[in-house]
Structure 1
Amino acid sequence: MSLALLQQVNCATPFLLLGWQPLEQGKATGLLLRVYLPHATAVTALSADGKKALGELTAVSGFDGVFELKLSKKRKVEAYILQVQAGNYQYQLFDPYQFKDEAYYAVHYVTSQPENLYRQLGAQLIELDIGTKKVPATRFAVYAPNASAVSVIGDMNSWDGRVHPMQRTECGHWVLVLPEVAQGVRYKYEIKDRHGHLLPHKADPMAFYAEQYPSHASLVFDHQHYQWQDSDWCNRKAINPLHSPISIYELQAGSWKRQNDNQPLSYRELAEQLIPYVLDMGYTHIELLPVMEHPFDGSWGYQPLGLFAPTSRFGNPDDFKYFVDKCHQAGIGVILDWVPAHFPEDGHGLARFDGSHLYEYEDPRRGWHPDWNSCIYDYGKGYVRQFLVASALFWLEHFHIDGLRVDAVASMLYWDYSRKEGEWIPNIDGGNHNYEAISFFRWFNTEVYSKYPKAMTIAEESTSFPMVSRPVDMGGLGFGFKWNMGWMNDSLRYISKDPAYRRYHHNDLTFSMVYAYNENFILPLSHDEVVHGKGSLLNKMPGDEWQQAANLRAYYAFMFAHPGKKLNFMGNEFAQGREWNHTQSLDWHLLGYDKHRGIQQLFRDLNQTYRRCAPLYELDYQHDGFSWLDHQDADNSTLSFLRRDSQGNTIYVVSNFTPVPRTDFLLGVEQPGDYEVILNTDSEYYWGSNYEVGSALHSIAMPYHGKAQHICLQLPPMATLYIRRKHQG
Structure 2
Amino acid sequence: MAEHLPHPGAVDSFVRARHGDPFSLLGQHGDAVRAFLPDALAVEVVDATNGLSRGTLDRVHADGLWSGTVIGSGPYRLRQTLANGAGGETVIETADAYAFPPLFGDLDLYLLAAGRHHDLGDVLGAHPRVVDGVAGTLFAVWAPNAQRVSVVGSFNNWDGRRHPMRARIPYGVWELFIPGVSAGALYKFELVGPDGNVLPWRADPVAWQAEKPPQTASVVVDSEPFAWTDQAWMENRAARQAPNAPISVYELHAMSWLPHDGQEPSWSLLGDRLIPYIQALGFTHIELMPIMEHPFGGSWGYQVLGQFAPTSRMGEPKEFARFVNRCHAAGIAILLDWVPAHFPTDSHGLAHFDGTALYEHGNPFEGYHQDWNTFIYNLGRNEVRGFMIASGLFWLKRFHIDGLRVDAVASMLYRDYSRKHGEWVPNIYGGRENLESIAFLQDLSRAVKETSPGAILVAEESTSFPGVTRSADEGGLGFDYKWNMGWMHDTLHYIETDSAYRKWHHGEIAFGLVYAFSERFVLPISHDEVVYGKGSMIGKMPGSDDWQRFANLRAYYGFMWTHPGKKLLFMGSEIAQWREWNHDTGLDWHLLENPAHKGIQTLIGDLNAIYRAEPALHGRDCREDGFRWVVLHDAEQSVYAWLRFGEWGQRPLLVLCNFTPVVRHLYRVGVSQPGIWEEVLNTDSERYGGSNVGNQGRVEAIAEPLHDQPASLTLTLPPLATLVLAPRA
TM-score, normalization by structure 2: 0.95
Q: How do 1:505-516 and structure 2 match up within 5 A?
A: 505-516=505-516
Map 1:359-378; keep pairs closer than 5 Å.
Answer: 359-378=359-378
- 1:205 matched to which residue of 2? 205
Give the Å deviation of 1:708.
1.5
Name the CA distance, whole Å, in 2 between partners of 1:643 and 1:602.
Answer: 20
**Matching of residues 409-420 of structure 1 within 5 Å:** 409-420=409-420
User: Are the aligned partners of 1:694 and 1:713 in contact in 2 as well (CA < 8 Å)?
Assistant: no
2:323 is matched with 323
Deviating runs (4+, > 3 A) in structure 1?
84-90, 101-113
Q: Which amino acid aligns with 1:425?
A: V
Question: Could you tell which deviates more after superposition, 442-451 or 217-226?
Answer: 217-226
Change (3 A) 1:317 1:106: farther
Alignment of 1:243-258 (within 5 A): 243-258=244-259
Aligned AA for 1:630?
V
Aligned to 2:160: 161
Distance (whole Å) between structure 2 residues aligned to residue 237 and residue 373 of structure 1: 38
Q: Distance in 1 between matches of 2:599 and 2:215?
A: 47
Aligned-partner Cα distance in 2 for 1:642–1:661: 21
Q: Partners in 2 of 1:106 and 1:56 — Cα distance?
A: 39
Shift of 1:257: 1.8
- The residue number in structure 2 matching 1:646 is 647
- Distance of 2:367 and 2:94 partners within structure 1: 45
Equivalent residue of 1:189, what SS? strand
Q: Secondary structure at the match of 1:268?
A: helix
Please tell me the residue identity of whatever aligns with 1:580. Answer: W
Q: 1:83 aligns with which of 70, 80, 83?
A: 80
Deviations 1:213-232 (A, max 9, x none): 34310000014152112222
Contact 1:106 1:141 in 2 (8 A): no
Give 5+ residue unaligned stretches, structure 2. Answer: 1-6
> Contact 1:308 / 1:394 at 8 angstroms: preserved in 2?
yes
Q: How far apart, in 1, do the equivalents of 2:219 and 2:646 lie?
A: 51
Query: In structure 1, what is the Cα distance between the partners aligned to 2:502 and 2:600?
Result: 23
**Cα deviations by residue, 1:531-584 (Å, 9 ceiling, x for unpaired):** 001110001000110010000000001001110000000111111111000012
**1:28 alignment partner in structure 2:** none
Shift of 1:413: 0.5
Q: 1:358 Cα shift? A: 0.4
Q: Residue type of the partner of 1:629?
A: V
Greater mean deviation of Cα atoms: 382-391 or 422-431: 422-431
Query: 2:214, 2:295 within 8 Å by CA — same for their partners in 1?
Result: no
Task: Return the alpha-carbon distance in structure 2 between the equivalents of residues 104 and 179 of structure 1.
Answer: 19
3-state SS in 2 of match to 1:500: helix
Q: What is the aligned partner in structure 1 of residue 4 from structure 2?
A: none
Match of residue 679 from structure 2: 677
**Residues matched between the structures, number:** 711
The change in CA–CA distance for 1:664 and 1:152 in structure 2 (over 3 A counts) is same
* Preserved CA contact (<8 Å) 1:223 1:398: no
Which residue matches 2:215?
215
Counterpart of 2:14 in structure 1: which amino acid?
A: L
Deviation at 1:152, TM superposition (A): 0.2
Quote the offset at 1:39 in angstroms.
2.5
The more displaced of 119-128 and 395-404 is 119-128
Matches within 5 A, 1:266-415: 266-415=266-415
Give the corresponding residue for 2:125: 122
Give the alignment of 1:131-170 within 5 angstroms: 134-170=133-169
Q: Is the 8 A contact 2:79 2:91 kept in 1?
A: no
Query: Is 1:688–2:690 an aligned residue pair?
Result: yes
1:436-475, aligned counterparts within 5 Å?
436-475=436-475
**Deviation sequence 1:165-197 (CA, Å, 0-9, x none):** 111111111110001110000000011101211
Q: Over residues 348-385 of structure 1, what are the superposed CA-to-partner deviations in whole Å (9 max), with x where a residue is unaligned? A: 00000000000001111110001100000001100000
Q: Which moved more, 1:402-411 or 1:222-231?
A: 222-231
Is 1:602 aligned to residue 610 of structure 2? no
State the partner residue of 1:707.
709
Q: TM-score, structure 1 length as denominator? A: 0.95
**Could you give the per-residue CA deviations for residues 493-522 of structure 1, whole angstroms, max 9, x where no partner exists?**
000000010000011011101111111000
- 1:695 Cα deviation from its structure 2 partner: 5.0
Instruction: Kindly state the Cα deviation for residue 66 of structure 1 after the two structures are TM-superposed.
Output: 1.6
Further displaced range: 116-125 or 398-407:
116-125
Distance 2:119 2:513 in 1: 44
**2:353 corresponds to which letter in structure 1?**
F
Does 1:615 find its partner at 2:616? yes
String of CA shifts for 1:40-65, please: whole Å, max 9, x gaps. 232111111462001111222x5632
How large is the Cα RMSD of the aligned pairs?
1.5
Q: Which amino acid aligns with 1:124?
A: H
SS at 2:607's partner residue? helix
Distance in 1, matches of 2:425 and 2:694, equals 62
* Residue pair 1:339, 1:408 contacting (<8 A) in 2 also: yes
AA of the residue aligned to 1:417: Y
Distance, in Å, in 2 between the alignment partners of 1:41 and 1:696 is 92
Deviation at 1:441, TM superposition (A): 0.5
Secondary structure at the counterpart of residue 550 of structure 2: helix
Q: What per-residue deviation string (whole Å, max 9, x for no partner) do you get for residues 327-363 of structure 1?
A: 0000100000000000000010000000000000111
Q: CA 1:98 to 1:695, structure 2 compared with 1: closer, same or farther past 3 Å?
A: closer
Check conservation: 1:106, 1:120, Cα contact below 8 A.
no
- 1:104 deviates by 6.3
Question: Residue 456 and residue 238 in structure 1: after superposition, are their counterparts in 2 closer, same or farther (change >3 A)?
Answer: closer
Instruction: Give the superposition deviation at 1:119.
Output: 1.3
State the Cα deviation string for residues 608-649 of structure 1 (Å, max 9, x = none). Answer: 000000000110111110000011111100000000001252
Percent identity between matched residues is: 49
2:16 pairs with 1:8: yes
> What one-letter code is carried by the residue in structure 1 that aligns with 2:487?
W
Secondary structure in structure 2 of the residue aligned to 1:328: helix
Q: Deviations over 1:639-664 (max 9, x none)?
A: 00000001252000000000001110
C-alpha deviation, 1:679, in angstroms? 0.2
SS at match of 1:547: helix
- In structure 1, the residue matched to 2:669 is 667
Inter-partner Cα distance in structure 2 for 1:452 and 1:208: 20
Matched with 1:25 is: none
- Uncovered stretches (5+) of structure 1, i.e. residues with no partner: 23-30
Structure 1 counterpart SS, 2:130: strand
CA deviations on 1:236-262 (whole Å, 9 max, x unpaired) are 26416101000000000011123423x
Measured in 1, the distance between the counterparts of 2:63 and 2:267 equals 49
Partner-residue secondary structure (3-state), 2:464: coil
- Secondary structure of the equivalent of 2:634? coil
Question: What is the CA–CA distance in structure 1 between the aligned matches of 2:390 and 2:202, rounded to whole Å?
Answer: 20
CA distance in 2, matches of 1:254, 1:675: 45
Determine whether 1:175 maps to 2:183.
no
3-state SS of 1:244 partner: coil
> Cα–Cα, structure 1 residues 223 and 550, in superposed 2: closer, same or farther, change >3 Å?
farther
Structure-2 change in CA distance of 1:105 and 1:470 (3 Å): closer
Q: Distance in 2 between matches of 1:565 and 1:495?
A: 20
**1:67 lines up with 2:75 in the alignment:** no
Q: Does the CA-based 8 Å contact 1:138-1:180 persist in structure 2?
A: yes
Q: Which residue in 2 is equivalent to 1:27?
A: none
Deviation at residue 3 of structure 1 after TM alignment: 1.5
Does the 8 Å contact 2:77/2:93 carry over to 1? no
2-side partners of 1:482 and 1:528: how far apart?
Answer: 16
2:426 alignment counterpart = 426
> Aligned residue for 2:583?
582
Q: 2-side partners of 1:656 and 1:43: how far apart?
A: 87
